[in-house]
Structure 1
Amino acid sequence: MSLIGHLARLEAVAGGRARPVATVRHRHLSQRPLVLVPLTTAGEAGAPLGALVGTERTAPRVLFVAQPRDRELRFAFLAALADEILPYIDDHAGTVEAAERTETDPETGKRVKVEVELCADAPQIVVPSRGGVDFVRLLGRSMRFRRTAEQDPEAPYPAPPRVPLLGRWLTHYGERARVPGSSLLPAMTDLLARHWATGQSSLEDQHLGALLAWLEAPEGTSGADAALRAERARDADGQLLCPPAGPATDPAFDNKLLAPAIERYDRARVELAAAEDGIEADDRLGALTEAEHAIRALVVSRTRPTWDAVWRGLDLLCTLPVGARVEERWTRDRWSFTGHRDRVLSGEPPQPRRDDAVTAANKLAAREREQARLDAQEALDDPLVMAGRRLAGEAFAGEVTESVMAYSEGKRPSPRPLVTVRTEDRPHLAVGTKVYRSLGGKPQTAQFVGYAELPEEVSPGVPEPRDPDTRADALMDTRPDGGGDGTPALVLRITDRMGRGKEPEAGSVPEKGDMLCWTLFEHDQRGGPKLPDPENTPWTHGGPPGDAADRPEQPDQVTGEDIL
């Protein structure tokens, strides 16, 4: 966490209210997101108990499993979940637009631009907390390899046809959620904590009710007291008034309400199976239905407060203006969604249980690259974030006090103007360090030459050298407080984005009086070295030579149910 973040937390503790740590919204929010509030059975992370799901704030679809240990009921729950999520995905998969993408020509080996389809929008699934993201990933892993009755008539407990397809999509969303800056599967607690700082720990921020209490505390009340009530307040029956954000449940709820309700349901099923005549069967069927409704009501009582909290969080986030580079990151999410759609349509098998060495290395490199890109873009979009980077010595802002034209040596001299910047920041600079500023949306590079005396502080009795390079040497000073008042004056040499002519293009060179912000970090991230193809991976990383039994497990063959 940056120094700005620590300061905001201290102010939140002192003032009893959450403090902003961003001036713009750094994540994309869909105009029609699908909200998913899952609930799991205690002690069995892969056994769903229920969920609220839907795109309508006032009309969520209630899904529940009356007996989580029953495989058939569990598959029925997953099929109902697929009936809610897959149509939402299909709505976005069918609307495309033309886009250009750079690919390698297999014949010439050159990079060429080709026109391809890009989905005009991507479906966004919002969950309450990181636990919801982990649950989505777990569901995808447990569903995408399920065998259906058509695939294998002899398979025990065959899954409904659309369950494996939903598993593939949830797996993709779970993997994409690990990419920094992605908004396909955001957790509401992470979204709010990114833009506001509370007076509690980051672990406590994962309780959505407590986090919102800091943000919504009425005037004259303390956010800490409101958060404590959200975490601990209980009704007359001993149940939490603000249940956890899921998917875990409260032990008091499990022991006092849920366990007796499931026992009544099991007893009603046994009695219905033992009924001998129609009248008795009708009575016991009514008891079974009543037991199901009781479990459904319990699921709603635990998930509806969280459902409403997620929508309140979306309202708060919508009050912030969108960052300038958020749309660029969302476009990468759209490419990711379109790519997976194309893989499904082309008949590729499901994602393997384990990645090969090349795929795993590519994923790790992509996440590292996206993290660096996200950090840079958030700082460029948000002055408050940039302030944290300036305090850390990773950027500086100041006024241009002098701009002197200079040229490089060689047969064809190029413009290399020297710019003096007076700043109150203390960047971690060494001679030759590259710094960057945003010019027309692109980074312009400069090189730190050294510290200088300010022009007005040069002794008037010394004549000013005419040659710019000599002038720069005359201004150089090894002291970091080049100005007499302790304010550094930094000399920078501009090295690019000035056009190809002998004279720089208009506006490409800072002028005296300009207020600029320079960063020590790059604005764009470059790709790493090309990795070998999976079949050419060394044997030390799972490739040939070697026995096929030592290779990663292969996925099941694609079936008709895997096609959209």
Structure 2
Amino acid sequence: MSLITTLARLEAVDSGRAQPLATVCHRHLTGRPLVLVPLTTAGEAGAPLGALVGTDRDAPRLLAVAQPRDRDLRFAFLAELAEAVLPHIESAADAVEPAERSEVDPETGRRTKVEVELCADAAQLVVPSRAGIDFVRLLGRSMRFRRTAEDDPDTPYPAPARVPLLGRWLTHYGERARVPGSSLLLATTDLLNRHWATGQSSLEDQHLGALLAWIDPPPGESGAEAAFRAELARDGAGQLLCPPAGPATDPAFDNRLLAPAIEAYDRARVALAAAEDGLTADARLGELSRAEREIRSLLAAVMRPTWDAVWRGLDLTRGLPEGARSQDRWTRDRWSFTAHRDRVRAGEPPQPRRDDAVTAARKLAARETAQAQLEAQEALDDPLVLAGRRLAGEAFLGEVAEVEMTYTESKRPSPRPLVTVRTDERPHLGERTKVYRSLDGKPQTAEFVGYAAEGPAGAESALVLRITDRMGRNRKPAPGSVPEPGERIAWTLFEHDQRGGPALPDAENTPWTHGGPPGAAEDAEKPDPVTAEDLL
């Protein structure tokens, strides 16, 4: 936790209201996101109980499983979920625009630009909390390997046709959510926590109702009081006024309302199966329908507050102007969305259960690079985030006092101007430390030379920096490439554009120290079979 975040939390405790951590929105929000509020069965990991899903805040689509232990009902739920989610994804997959991509020519080894299709937009999914992202990933893993009747007519429990396709997409969204700065799959709690600091712990910040109570408390009430009520207040029947934001349920709801309703549904199913004539079957079918409607109404009542809270959180975040570089990160999301669309349409197999060593290393390196890029871009987009880096000594703001033009000693001298900057901050500068400033959206590099011989009086110090690049190819620097006296500039000690690491080998060339090529473990020497002599 940075110093400025700690200060913001202390201020939130003192004022009774969440304090801003950003002045702009650092995540891209589409105009039509798909909100998914999942609910799972207690005691059985990944067993779906119900969901609210849709793009219209006033008309969510309710999906429910009356008996979560019934395999057929769970498959029917997944099929309904696919019908609700896949059209939204496919609508974004069909609209494309021309784009250029750099590719390596396999014959010459040179990089060339080729024109390809890029999806004009990508489908965005929003869930209430981080646990919702884990559930999306779990759903994808459990669905993408399902066999359909079309794939294998002899499979014992065939899945509906579109279920494996939805599993592949949910797996991709779950993997993409692990990339820092990605906005394909967003958790509302993480979105709000990035932009506001509350007076409670990070664990309590995962409660969406309490988090919203700190950010936007009712009139005349502090955030702490409103959050306490959101977490613990119950009605006369002992039910929470603000149910958990999924996918877990409240034990009081499970024991007092849901369990009796499911038992009534089970009794109605047994009675219907035992009916001996048509009139009796019709009557008992009506009882079964009433029991199912009761379960659906219970699930709708417990999920609707979370549904409304997600849209309220999106409204609060949309009140901030979008950061300048969030569109760049969204473009990378669109490239990822397009690449997965192409793999699906090409008929490639689903994502493997476990990545090979090279793929895992590439993912880790890409996420580390994305994290560094995100931290740098957020600081460049947001003065409040930059203030935190300045407090940490990783950036400083100074006024240009003097510019002295110098040149390199070479056959073709290049400009290396010395810039004296006055600042009252204390950045962590060492000999020849590189610092950067943003020039026309791109970083310009300078080296720290030392402190001026005669610094100004008071707390200020005078730093001497040598500009080293982005001044053009002529002897005279390009206009605007050298700071002018009196100009106030933010300098950073961190790079604005992160460089990639060394190239990794192809998967077929995985070294033996990392398991060898894919499939090597299957061909490895198997252990000796167990014999009677091996047993006591």
| TM-score in terms of structure 2 length | 0.97
Name the structure 1 match of 2:399: 399
Name the structure 1 match of 2:281: 281
Name the structure 2 match of 1:241: 241
Q: What amino acid maps onto 1:125 in structure 2?
A: L
Please tell me whether residue 531 in structure 1 is matched to residue 480 in structure 2.
Answer: no
Kept in 2: contact 1:542–1:550 (CA 8 A): no
Q: How does 1:500-519 map to 2 (within 5 A)?
A: 500-519=473-492
Kept in 1: contact 2:507–2:518 (CA 8 A): no
**Alpha-carbon distance in 2 for matches of 1:307, 1:410:** 67
Q: What amino acid maps onto 2:231 in structure 1?
A: E
**Alpha-carbon distance in 2 for matches of 1:229, 1:132:** 23
Kept in 1: contact 2:133–2:185 (CA 8 A): yes
Distance 1:180 1:544, change over 3 A: closer
Kept in 1: contact 2:181–2:371 (CA 8 A): yes
Q: What amino acid maps onto 1:447 in structure 2?
A: E
Q: How does 1:211-360 map to 2 (within 5 A)?
A: 211-360=211-360
Matched position secondary structure for 1:45: coil
The CA deviation at 1:115 is: 0.4
**Alpha-carbon distance in 2 for matches of 1:402, 1:422:** 9
Q: What amino acid maps onto 2:514 in structure 1?
A: H
Name the structure 2 match of 1:382: 382
Matched position secondary structure for 1:115: strand
Name the structure 1 match of 2:57: 57
Name the structure 2 match of 1:458: none
Matched position secondary structure for 1:393: coil
**Alpha-carbon distance in 2 for matches of 1:219, 1:448:** 52
**Alpha-carbon distance in 2 for matches of 1:51, 1:128:** 12
Q: How does 1:90-109 map to 2 (within 5 A)?
A: 90-109=90-109
Kept in 2: contact 1:2–1:388 (CA 8 A): yes
Matched position secondary structure for 2:185: coil
Q: From 536, 542, 547, give the equivalent of 2:515.
A: 542
The CA deviation at 1:548 is: 5.0
Name the structure 1 match of 2:530: none
Q: Deviations over 1:28-84 (max 9, x none)?
A: 001000000000000112100000000001000000000001110000000000000
Distance 1:191 1:113, change over 3 A: same
Q: What amino acid maps onto 1:425 in structure 2?
A: E
Kept in 1: contact 2:451–2:461 (CA 8 A): yes
Name the structure 2 match of 1:498: 471
Kept in 2: contact 1:26–1:378 (CA 8 A): yes
Please report the RMSD computed on the Cα atoms of aligned residues, expressed in angstroms.
Answer: 1.1
Kept in 2: contact 1:399–1:515 (CA 8 A): yes
Matched position secondary structure for 1:362: helix
Kept in 2: contact 1:453–1:483 (CA 8 A): no
Give unmatched runs, 5+ long, in structure 2: 525-536
**Alpha-carbon distance in 2 for matches of 1:550, 1:512:** 70
**Alpha-carbon distance in 1 for matches of 2:160, 2:388:** 52
Q: Which moved more, 1:486-495 or 1:362-371?
A: 486-495
**Alpha-carbon distance in 2 for matches of 1:548, 1:518:** 51
Distance 1:221 1:326, change over 3 A: same
Name the structure 2 match of 1:125: 125
**Alpha-carbon distance in 2 for matches of 1:173, 1:370:** 16
The CA deviation at 1:488 is: 1.4
| TM-score in terms of structure 1 length | 0.92
The CA deviation at 1:221 is: 1.3
Q: Deviations over 1:158-214 (max 9, x none)?
A: 100000000000000000000000000000000011001111111111100000011
Kept in 2: contact 1:539–1:546 (CA 8 A): no
Kept in 2: contact 1:64–1:77 (CA 8 A): yes
The CA deviation at 1:549 is: 1.1
Q: Which moved more, 1:335-344 or 1:100-109?
A: 100-109
Matched position secondary structure for 1:46: coil
Kept in 2: contact 1:539–1:545 (CA 8 A): no
**How many residue pairs were aligned?**
524
**Alpha-carbon distance in 1 for matches of 2:224, 2:518:** 61
**Alpha-carbon distance in 1 for matches of 2:518, 2:390:** 52
Work out the percentage of aligned pairs sharing the same amino acid: 77
Matched position secondary structure for 1:521: coil
Kept in 1: contact 2:507–2:517 (CA 8 A): no
Name the structure 2 match of 1:476: none
The CA deviation at 1:527 is: 1.1
**Alpha-carbon distance in 2 for matches of 1:381, 1:422:** 23
The CA deviation at 1:545 is: 9.7
Name the structure 2 match of 1:436: 436
**Alpha-carbon distance in 2 for matches of 1:49, 1:15:** 40
Kept in 2: contact 1:129–1:208 (CA 8 A): yes
The CA deviation at 1:154 is: 2.1
Kept in 2: contact 1:37–1:307 (CA 8 A): yes
Matched position secondary structure for 1:147: coil
**Alpha-carbon distance in 2 for matches of 1:493, 1:541:** 45
Name the structure 2 match of 1:462: none
Name the structure 2 match of 1:468: none
Give unmatched runs, 5+ long, in structure 1: 455-481, 552-564
**Alpha-carbon distance in 2 for matches of 1:339, 1:236:** 52
